[in-house]
Amino acid sequence: MALTLAALVAERPLGLRVRAAEAGLDRAIGWVHPTELTDPQAFLEGGELLLTTGLALDETTSPGYIRRLVDAGVAGLGFGVGLSHENIPQSLVDTADEVGLPVLEVPRKTPFIAITRAVSRAVAADEYASLVRTGKGQQELTRTAVGKGGPGGVVRKLAKLVDGWVLLLDSSGAVAEASPSARPFADELQDDFARLRAGTLVTVAGEYEVVLQTLDTRARGVLAVGTREPLDAAGQHIVNTAVSLLSLALEQNREHVDAVRRLRSGLCDLLAAGQAELATRTMKSLWGGAPEAPWSVLAVAGPASARRSLADALDAEVAGDKVFFGESGALVIALGDVEAIVRQASRIGGLHAGLSDPVSTVDFPAGLRQAKQAAEAAKTERSPLVRFAEHAGRGFLEMVDSQAAQAFSDSLLAPLRHHDETGRGELVASLTCWLEHHGHWDLASARLGVHRHTLRNRMRKVAELTGRDLDSPGVRAEFWLALQVSART
């Protein structure tokens, strides 16, 4: 910590005596400069303890001299007595008291060089302490970065080293990592984040001075460091070290993520080319498992930034054996836990998904075509999700006379609706779900939340009430058409 005027006065061998503005003795001394010039402003930087014997000063000239020193930003004045003046001019003392400039009386027995040496020793000790603190801080940050702490560990360690709080913001301004108690400041910094394009920005958040520093990465990120006092030289060096380490770590992580994404896209290409066995074997080898077939293929369209955000969210929050996803052109292709994927897409916004009918692994190419068609329909309709079965049904219904279709639907479904209205079952909903899953008992019963035997009994009741054989593809098509017409009314 820099030597203050009070600490210098406390060094008894110097014999210094405070003559004016004692309240300002907490000022730090940047350096010592002896001069007899009556206007030394051109040779000062501010923060100096100026030493003089007052050779060119008297009661008349002293007030103007003091005011010029205040304008120059000096920390204080040391006035040597017993040479040019037996006592400090009273007008100098009075003016210094008035403007708040501390004046120290230096006895004749104390050479100015003794004061210079005292300040020099303190400055050297302060610089050494700063150097030691910087080196120790850099070592601790580096150990954290190369250990298991990762970016989050670096952020928390930095907060302790600067005695403040730290936020790592991603390219959207969202919090990627945060030290304890730091998150509440994220919203307050959003305007400053938006203004910062590169480099450093210093702002204020509550009672904290905040330094915003951009990271040197392809994906724009910002490190925000809040402290109650402005960062000193050591603190600035430590923050710069953290910026470098975080930039390197995030860039390496981004390269790894990009490589995995390219691999996922390659596996999508294998599936589309009919190489399902090789693709699923690779999934199991890399991620410990693969989604169980049959697969409902999901194709997600939208802006590149939104698709990347979806991929990042799936990477971070969805287990690899539950979901597989990759990119195919301007689409994210996914299969497995479809509901989890759709939830993530809805949180991001701006995305439109198409879902295929359930397909076997070898029929993935057909499922992919269906998903792409449904995604295109979702994009056209500005809908978050369109199922291929619904899309295909709507396409056929456009060619059918609406009155005739409605009459057919009412006639076919009337027994089932009557049964449901009397509270004896849920035949319409069960039939709809069963057809959506192409007669797959396990999938449909799981979706309905009933045992598959219960679902079989309900389908037998449908056949009994309508007098139609559900094993017939034509009958299933008729029921599906009737349900689609009913859904439109």
Q: Does residue 391 share a domain with residue 414?
A: no
Q: Does residue 223 share a domain with residue 150?
A: yes
Token pair of 256 as six digits: 């790894």
The CA-atom distances, in angstroms, between 319 and each of 308, 340, 346 are: 18, 10, 19
Burial call 69-96: b when 16+ CB within 10 Å, e when fewer: beebebbbbbbbbeeebeebbebbbebb
Does any domain span residue 133?
Answer: no
Q: Does residue 176 share a domain with residue 86?
A: no
- Predicted confidence at residue 437, as pLDDT, reads 85
pLDDT tens sequence across 227-277:
988 888 888 888 888 888 887 777 666 666 667 778 888 888 888 888 888
Q: Supply the CATH number for residue 350's domain.
A: 3.30.70.270
- Predicted confidence at residue 220, as pLDDT, reads 67
Q: Does residue 81 share a domain with residue 166?
A: no
Domain end marker among 220, 251, 282: 251
| Percent of the chain residues topping a pLDDT of 90 | 27
The CA-atom distances, in angstroms, between 89 and each of 63, 94, 102, 115, 201 are: 10, 9, 14, 22, 47
pLDDT tens sequence across 42-84:
899 999 999 999 999 999 999 999 999 999 999 999 999 999 9
Burial of 10: CB neighbours in 10 Å, binned 0-12, 13-18, 19+:
exposed
| Percent of the chain residues topping a pLDDT of 70 | 92
- Predicted confidence at residue 26, as pLDDT, reads 93
Q: Supply the CATH number for residue 95's domain.
A: 3.40.1390.20
What is the signed CA dihedral for 20, 24, 25, 27, rounded to 10 degrees? Answer: -140
- Predicted confidence at residue 233, as pLDDT, reads 81
Q: Please, where are the H alpha helices in 273-363?
A: 276-287, 304-317, 338-348
440 contact partners, CB below 8 Å, separation of at least 6: 294, 358
Residue of 450 and 489 predicted with greater confidence: 450
Provide the mean pLDDT of the chain: 85
Does any domain span residue 129?
Answer: no
User: Is residue 1 pLDDT above 80, yes or no?
Assistant: no
Q: Does residue 246 share a domain with residue 293?
A: no
- Decide if 295 contacts 359 (C-beta within 8 A): yes
Q: Does residue 454 share a domain with residue 434?
A: yes
- Predicted confidence at residue 77, as pLDDT, reads 97
Could you give the maximum distance between any two Cα atoms of the chain, in Å? 126
**401 — pLDDT class (breaks 50, 70, 90):** low
Q: Does residue 375 share a domain with residue 294?
A: yes
- Decide if 224 contacts 190 (C-beta within 8 A): no
Does any domain span residue 139?
Answer: no
Q: What pairs with residue 178 in β-bridges? A: 167
**Do strands 385-387 and 352-355 pair parallel, antiparallel, or not at all (unpaired)?**
parallel
User: In angstroms, rounded to a whole number, what is the distance separating the alpha carbons of residues 24 and 75?
Assistant: 9
- Predicted confidence at residue 399, as pLDDT, reads 46
Domain end marker among 352, 369, 395: 395
Does any domain span residue 242?
Answer: yes
Among 104-118, 183-197, 319-333, 348-362, which range has the highest average pLDDT?
Answer: 104-118
Q: Supply the CATH number for residue 238's domain.
A: 3.30.450.30
Q: Does residue 106 share a domain with residue 10?
A: yes
Calculate mean pLDDT across residues 328-338: 84
Q: Supply the CATH number for residue 424's domain.
A: 1.10.10.2840
User: In angstroms, rounded to a whole number, what is the distance separating the alpha carbons of residues 1 and 193?
Assistant: 32
Q: Does residue 434 share a domain with residue 391?
A: no
Burial call 174-199: b when 16+ CB within 10 Å, e when fewer: eebbbbeebeebbeebeebbeebeee
- Predicted confidence at residue 115, as pLDDT, reads 94
pLDDT tens sequence across 5-19:
999 999 999 999 999
Does any domain span residue 263?
Answer: no
- Domain range for 74 is 5-110
Domain end marker among 90, 110, 130: 110
Q: Does residue 356 share a domain with residue 411?
A: no
Does any domain span residue 121?
Answer: no
Domain count, the chain: 4
Does any domain span residue 123?
Answer: no
pLDDT tens sequence across 115-159:
999 998 888 887 777 777 778 887 888 887 777 777 888 889 888
Does any domain span residue 128?
Answer: no
* Residue of 344, 292, 356 lying closest to 313 (CA atoms): 344
Q: Does residue 341 share a domain with residue 312?
A: yes
Q: Does residue 192 share a domain with residue 227?
A: yes
User: Is residue 392 pLDDT above 60, yes or no?
Assistant: no
